[in-house]
């Protein structure tokens, strides 16, 4: 939590001025009982009407000054809190963008969304209230006790007993509720995750008529969240009644002691009223402070969760740090891991050398002992049954997932040794699920190359067989794309995402089953256009044998292992699995 305070560094002035103005307000508030005491003891008995008016105006003046100070403090506190949350949210978002897929999978998308929204909002409220009340309430409490001592020491001893008791209550409740609030936020993650899953999969749910089941599951998660919130609320709710009991007990003691001392002439009625007023001020402030402690407890719990995201390292970075010595020894022993500034022998451009991949939290490896090499400019087809690991394999090339053992080398250099931007600059990826972003066709295409000219955009669209899509729109390249590209069909989105990758003119182009929504004629035209690109190494992941049979090399996967590598003709002779796929799809 302490590491998050650095996001307040640009708001040092506001962070100092807010509590100072609150202290100013509290100081004027502490003078009120003294003024009232003087009115009761001097002005009223003496029927001094000018003095009563004068003291009344003093009270109005104190109120006005206090109000101005409070408004000013609120302005500075709000400015600091909003600025803090803005910078923190930007930092968390930026950090998430640097995380690899393994780290994101481990944390969970719904959890990241909760920490970006709900948790940071709680922190913003916490910072706001701390700047406003964290100093004001203790100052009023201890200031009221000191002022009471200036009036009468014996009566003020009640304060000495009351304040420690209240401190124990507040601190005890904070210790009880802090871990419970963390649990509440964790349950909120589950509810948000369930909601997100239902929204993204609403069509599947309706297609299988599982609305009642999903509703039942959501109700269960919601009840768990409700129960957790109710449980922690019971403890939090104890703060106000316990505070009232202790303070009102102290008021009874003060009134009794004050009455006795008034009768013997040690105190005046005005002084007793002043002491009671000070105790009432303490009551009000401690109620505020108890609520503040509850809010701070929530904020600390949320802050720990946000801090955990910022401290999350990429899986590869953690592995390098933890196993640096072992890795150095391994590099010395294994020739394929020796430093190399040039392409590997034999013109090998990309090499998978006994590479394996295991997802975070998975029981078994998704890919096991993958070994093959690719020359620059080759077209590589990857085929296999559903769940055989095709997407996992190509995701290792741009470094989305790091090899858990073995290595993936590009131009003789281990993929783990590349800076993420350096490696991604070489690669253009068309993911399995076509994704378009809200904006225009032009803005989506420029993701590939922000400096691309219209001529380059049209060239990419032509190669992706997407020219007629754009020309069919009223505004052409400036046609609106709605969120997730929902105003385009599946085939149109696929072709536009392919064009976006082609605009980048990458050294390595990965088409991850990106033509599944295209008809055979469009698919064939697309493959022909891509084949005309020189010096680009192309990986085509497909379920269709026809899409990859002309590839320079075809890799056949089965249950995470390579069971065949070769051309179409070679595999038809040597690989039974490929032959089954091919014969099923091609032969009638």
How far is Cα 437 from Cα 534, in angstroms, rounded to an integer?
Answer: 29
pLDDT at 25: 86
C-alpha distance from residue 481 to each of 442, 448, 495 (Å): 9, 16, 14
pLDDT at 401: 87
| Conformational region of residue 366, where left means phi above 0, alpha means psi within -120 to 50, and beta covers everything else | alpha
Domains contained in the chain, CATH given? 12-316 (1.20.1560.10), 433-505 (3.40.50.300)
How far is Cα 380 from Cα 538, in angstroms, rounded to an integer?
Answer: 6
pLDDT at 531: 84
How far is Cα 134 from Cα 289, in angstroms, rounded to an integer?
Answer: 7
Burial tier of 21 (Cβ tally within 10 Å: 0-12, 13-18, 19+):
buried
| Bridge partners, residue 353, by sequence | 407
Q: Which of 306, 309, 298 is nearest to 122 (CA)?
A: 298
**Six token digits for residue 4:** 């998050």
pLDDT at 339: 35
pLDDT at 85: 93
| Bridge partners, residue 380, by sequence | 539, 553
**CB 541 within 8 Å of CB 534:** no
pLDDT at 557: 93
pLDDT at 340: 33
How far is Cα 350 from Cα 509, in angstroms, rounded to an integer?
Answer: 13
Rounded to 5 degrees, φ, ψ at 351 are: -130, 125
Q: Give, in degrees to the nearest 5, the angle at Cα 84 between 82 and 87.
A: 105
Mean pLDDT by 10 residues, the chain (588 residues): 84 91 85 83 80 87 89 93 94 88 80 87 90 82 81 80 82 81 82 83 88 91 91 82 83 83 80 82 76 80 87 66 47 39 58 90 85 92 89 90 90 85 87 89 90 92 91 89 88 91 91 83 87 87 87 92 92 91 74
pLDDT at 320: 53
How far is Cα 189 from Cα 193, in angstroms, rounded to an integer?
Answer: 6
SS3 for 329-341 is HHHHHCHHHCCCC
Alpha carbon 334 to chain centroid, angstroms: 40
How far is Cα 279 from Cα 250, in angstroms, rounded to an integer?
Answer: 8
- pTM of the entire predicted model: 0.69
| E strands present in 445-536 | 480-481, 508-512
C-alpha distance from residue 184 to each of 177, 191, 233, 240, 588 (Å): 10, 11, 11, 21, 59
Q: Which of 567, 438, 572, 426 is nearest to 508 (CA)?
A: 426
**Six token digits for residue 318:** 């953690």
Tens of pLDDT, residue by residue over 335-382, are 333 333 333 444 689 999 999 998 877 778 899 999 999 999 899 999
Quote the DSSP letter at residue 377.
T
H-only helix segments in 49-207: 49-98, 101-107, 109-114, 120-129, 136-151, 153-200, 202-207
**CB 88 within 8 Å of CB 6:** no
pLDDT at 1: 64
pLDDT at 503: 92
């Amino acid at each position: 939590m302490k590491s998050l305070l650095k996001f307040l560094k640009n708001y040092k002035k506001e962070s100092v001025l807010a509590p100072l103005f609150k202290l100013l307000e509290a100081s004027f508030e502490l003078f009120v009982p003294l003024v009232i005491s003087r009115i009761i003891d001097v002005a009223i008995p003496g029927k001094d009407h000018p003095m009563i008016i004068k003291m009344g105006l003093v009270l109005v003046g104190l109120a006005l000054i206090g109000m101005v100070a409070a408004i000013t403090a609120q302005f500075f506190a709000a400015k600091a809190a909003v600025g803090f949350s803005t910078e923190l949210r930007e930092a968390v978002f930026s950090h998430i963008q640097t995380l690899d897929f393994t780290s994101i999978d481990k944390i969970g998308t719904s959890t990241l969304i909760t920490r970006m929204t709900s948790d940071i909002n709680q922190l913003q409220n916490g910072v706001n209230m701390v700047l406003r009340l964290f100093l004001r309430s203790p100052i009023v409490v201890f200031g009221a006790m000191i002022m009471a001592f200036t009036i009468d020491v014996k009566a003020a001893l009640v304060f000495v007993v009351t304040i420690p008791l209240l401190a124990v209550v507040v601190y005890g409740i904070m210790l009880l509720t802090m871990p419970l609030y963390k649990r509440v936020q964790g349950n909120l993650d589950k509810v948000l995750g369930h909601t997100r899953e239902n929204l993204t999969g609403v069509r599947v749910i309706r297609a299988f008529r599982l609305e009642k089941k999903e509703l039942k599951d959501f109700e269960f998660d919601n009840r768990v969240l409700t129960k957790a919130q109710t449980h922690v609320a019971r403890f939090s709710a104890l703060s106000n009644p316990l505070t009232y009991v202790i303070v009102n007990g102290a008021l009874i003691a003060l009134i009794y002691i004050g009455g006795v001392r008034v009768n013997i002439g040690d105190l005046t009625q005005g002084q007793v009223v002043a002491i009671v007023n000070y105790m009432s001020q303490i009551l009000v402030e401690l109620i505020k402070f108890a609520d503040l402690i509850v809010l701070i407890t929530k904020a600390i719990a949320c802050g720990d969760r946000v801090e955990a995201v910022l401290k999350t390292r990429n899986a590869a970075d953690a592995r390098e740090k933890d196993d640096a010595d072992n890795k150095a020894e391994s590099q010395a022993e294994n020739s394929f891991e020796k430093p190399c500034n040039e392409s590997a022998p034999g013109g090998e451009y990309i090499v998978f050398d006994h590479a394996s991949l295991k997802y975070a939290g998975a029981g078994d490896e998704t890919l096991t002992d993958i070994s093959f090499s690719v020359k620059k400019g080759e077209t590589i087809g990857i085929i296999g049954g559903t769940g055989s690991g095709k997407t996992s394999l190509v995701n290792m090339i741009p470094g989305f997932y790091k090899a858990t053992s073995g290595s993936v080398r590009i131009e003789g250099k281990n993929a783990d040794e590349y800076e993420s931007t350096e490696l991604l600059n070489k690669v253009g990826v068309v993911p399995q699920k076509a994704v378009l972003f809200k904006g225009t066709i032009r803005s989506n295409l420029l993701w590939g190359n922000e400096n691309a000219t219209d001529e380059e955009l049209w060239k990419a669209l032509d190669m992706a067989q997407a020219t007629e899509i754009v020309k069919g729109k009223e505004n052409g390249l400036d046609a609106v794309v709605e969120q997730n590209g929902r105003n385009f069909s599946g085939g149109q989105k696929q072709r536009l995402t392919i064009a976006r990758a082609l605009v980048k003119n990458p050294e390595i182009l990965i088409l991850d089953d990106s033509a599944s929504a295209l008809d055979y004629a469009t698919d064939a035209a697309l493959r022909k256009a891509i084949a005309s690109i020189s010096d680009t190494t192309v990986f085509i992941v497909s379920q269709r044998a026809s899409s990859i049979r002309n590839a320079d090399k075809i890799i056949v996967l089965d249950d995470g292992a390579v069971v065949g590598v070769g051309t179409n003709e070679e595999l038809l002779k040597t690989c039974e699995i490929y032959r089954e796929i091919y014969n099923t799809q091609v032969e009638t």
